[in-house]
Amino acid sequence: MEAQKEPSVSKKKQQKRRSLYQSVWRWHFYAGLIIMPFLIILAITGGVYLFKPQIEAALYKDYYEVTPQTTVTTPSEQINTVEAVNPNAAVTSYRPSDSPDRSAEVGITEDGKAFTVYVDPYENVILGKLEDSYKLVNVFEKIHGELLMGTVGDRIVEWAACWALILIITGVYLGWPKMKGKSKIRGVLVPRLNKGKKLRARDLHVVPAFWISLGLLFLILTGLPWSGLWGNNFQILTTNAGVGYPPSVWVGDAPASDVKTKEIADVPWSAENLPVPVSTNQQYTQLSVDDVVSIAEEEGVKPGYNIMIPQTQDGVFTLSAFPPKARDEVTMHIDQYTGAVLADYRYDNYNTLGKVIAYGITIHKGTEFGIWNQIIGLLVCIGIVGIAVSGFILWLSRKPEGKLGSPKAPSDKVMKGVIVLMIILGIIFPLVGISIIVVWLFDRFVIPRVPALKRFFNA
């Protein structure tokens, strides 16, 4: 630290501010270096996923398109065809055609794998069969949501997203204009390209980051509610409190079909080796999918929905539609024996927070506002890759040989403000809390004890 000869009050203040600046810089640097690869992966896969409708329409043209005719076969006839061709499969869902030239879809599971079979509803012939987890866009979605690593991957993505919040907060502090007047704008809102290499490297990170971080912040906040740990707990809290989605739309159980136990419990579909109770006359049979489709029509549900077929005795038919626009969403549960609508949750039945989350999700996915939603989403994704790369270049341009180039560690006193902010974030986002503890332990106990590390981290 320079200029310590006359420790006047203003000098001390200045020094303190400089130390705080350095500590924030250190955290911005740690966070940036660790999560940069994840942010780039999320931005690229997300950028591709935005164009799911166009990509799938092109890829599966032969499975999607059918020639309209005057007579249509019933859903149960189409399902019978699929069952005949796939005798070992269990039919799990049916999606009626949503326009005259679009095929119907039958979801099946076979050997624990899920497939979609595309059926021409007029000819009642199978157009093709795809394994769901190998659909190209689904693979991108899987990387985006869990890095193809299941629950562990989901937690990593959530953690990276939370840390990106820390990057934005610390970044805003670091980039905040220090000069007054007109020059304020330059270096934050507009880059200075002709003021030397160092300043240019800085501005090429700071200026785009300022603009992109608005979009990034939106994507993080709208993406977090569907994450596995934080999102799930958040959804449960809001659903239970009656301010979010109704139960079963996101979290919580669907109602159960009334199995009229006194009649069905005696039927030996769960007992072994009992004689067929020929005298037990009464057994309800499951509604046909045709009936479910007609119920959907009566209830005013527009085509484009999927019917989940119950797989257990007390299961329900669940009719669900998550179309491009949030206000068209439907989740409806139908008793599999009587056809009674047990629950009917449309967008209008979501409570305030549920509506906000729903809009957040459709905008995040780029479907709410059509092509412009997709284009803006794509620009933000490109921008995120850009600021991650320019941040890395900025670090390289400042980094001394053999050192990481992080500013010297300030005293604990100055770090207080930053620490308070970190603790708040750590409590709201437990994954951030845990990693803050780990980094702090490393920063505090490991680095000072290992001379080589101490030199490297400039601690």
Partner 1 sequence: MRFIKFTPLLLTFFLLAACSADPEAADHYAKREEVNVNIEAPESIEAGSAPKIDVKLTQDGKSLEQEATVNFLIWKDENKADAEEIPASLDADGTYLLEYTFPSDGVYFVKADVTVDNIHLMPTKQIRVGELTQEEIEKIKQEQEQKKQDDSGSHHHH
Specify the stretch interacting with partner 1 by CB under 8 A; choose among 117-125, 204-212, 291-299, 450-458: 291-299
Q: Does 95 bind partner 1 (CB under 8 A)?
A: no
Residue (9 or 276) nearer to partner 1, CB:
276
Nearest to 132 by CA among 146, 142, 147: 142
Specify the stretch interacting with partner 1 by CB under 8 A; choose among 14-22, 115-123, 195-203, 431-439: 431-439
Q: Does 287 bind partner 1 (CB under 8 A)?
A: yes
Q: Does 278 bind partner 1 (CB under 8 A)?
A: yes
For the record, the structure tokens of 395 come out as: 């670090």
Q: Decide the pairing of beta strands 316-321 and 330-335.
A: antiparallel
CA angle in degrees (0–180, nearest 5) for 266-270-274: 65
Q: Does 324 bind partner 1 (CB under 8 A)?
A: no
Specify the stretch interacting with partner 1 by CB under 8 A; choose among 136-144, 339-347, 377-385, 412-420: 339-347
Minimum separation from the CB atom of position 243 to partner 1 (A): 8
The correct pick among 148, 189, 190, 241 for binding partner 1 (CB under 8 A) is 241
Specify the stretch interacting with partner 1 by CB under 8 A; choose among 31-39, 214-222, 266-274, 387-395: 266-274
The correct pick among 15, 80, 92, 458 for binding partner 1 (CB under 8 A) is 92
Neighbours of 292 (CB within 10 A): 24
Specify the stretch interacting with partner 1 by CB under 8 A; choose among 54-62, 127-135, 229-237, 356-364: 229-237
The correct pick among 13, 260, 399, 416 for binding partner 1 (CB under 8 A) is 260
User: What residues between 49 and 88 interact with partner 1 by CB under 8 A?
Assistant: none
User: What residues between 118 and 177 interact with partner 1 by CB under 8 A?
Assistant: 155
Minimum separation from the CB atom of position 280 to partner 1 (A): 8
Neighbours of 308 (CB within 10 A): 17
The correct pick among 87, 279, 400, 452 for binding partner 1 (CB under 8 A) is 279
- Residue owning tokens 């780039």: 40
Q: Does 265 bind partner 1 (CB under 8 A)?
A: no
Secondary structure (3-state) at 434: helix
- Residue owning tokens 């420790």: 7
Q: Does 232 bind partner 1 (CB under 8 A)?
A: yes
For the record, the structure tokens of 41 come out as: 């992966």
CA angle in degrees (0–180, nearest 5) for 416-417-419: 60
Q: Does 406 bind partner 1 (CB under 8 A)?
A: no
Q: Does 434 bind partner 1 (CB under 8 A)?
A: yes
Residues with Cβ within 8 Å of residue 395, at least 6 apart in sequence: 29, 32, 33, 405
Minimum separation from the CB atom of position 73 to partner 1 (A): 13
Distances (CA, A) of 54 to 60, 289, 324, 416: 10, 30, 13, 50
Distances (CA, A) of 275 to 265, 270, 281: 15, 13, 14
Amino acid at 226: W
Minimum separation from the CB atom of position 165 to partner 1 (A): 17
| Torsion 272-275-279-285 (CA) sign | positive
Specify the stretch interacting with partner 1 by CB under 8 A; choose among 168-176, 186-194, 331-339, 383-391: 331-339
Q: Does 284 bind partner 1 (CB under 8 A)?
A: yes
Amino acid at 354: G
The correct pick among 8, 10, 71, 281 for binding partner 1 (CB under 8 A) is 281
In the chain, the largest separation of any two C-alpha atoms, in whole Å, equals: 104
For the record, the structure tokens of 420 come out as: 């308070």
Nearest to 23 by CA among 163, 164, 170: 170
Minimum separation from the CB atom of position 428 to partner 1 (A): 12
Q: Does 255 bind partner 1 (CB under 8 A)?
A: yes
The correct pick among 211, 359, 430, 443 for binding partner 1 (CB under 8 A) is 430
The correct pick among 183, 312, 352, 411 for binding partner 1 (CB under 8 A) is 312
Q: Decide the pairing of beta strands 125-131 and 306-308.
A: unpaired
What is the DSSP annotation of 217-269? HHHHHHHGGGSTTHHHHHHHHHHHHTSSSPTTTSSSPPP-----HHHHTTSTT
- Residue owning tokens 């139960």: 247
Q: Does 17 bind partner 1 (CB under 8 A)?
A: no
By CB under 8 A, the count of residues binding partner 1 is 66
For the record, the structure tokens of 325 come out as: 């626009």
Please check whether residue 129 is in contact with residue 122, taking contact to mean a CB–CB distance below 8 angstroms.
Answer: no
Residues with Cβ within 8 Å of residue 144, at least 6 apart in sequence: 41, 42, 45, 46, 49, 157
Residue (214 or 437) nearer to partner 1, CB:
437
Minimum separation from the CB atom of position 14 to partner 1 (A): 34
Query: Could you list the residues that contact partner 1 (CB under 8 A)?
Result: 90, 92, 109, 155, 229, 232-233, 236-237, 239-242, 246-248, 251-255, 258, 260, 267-270, 276, 278-285, 287, 291, 295, 298, 308, 310-313, 315, 318, 337-345, 349, 351, 430-431, 433-434, 437-438, 441, 445
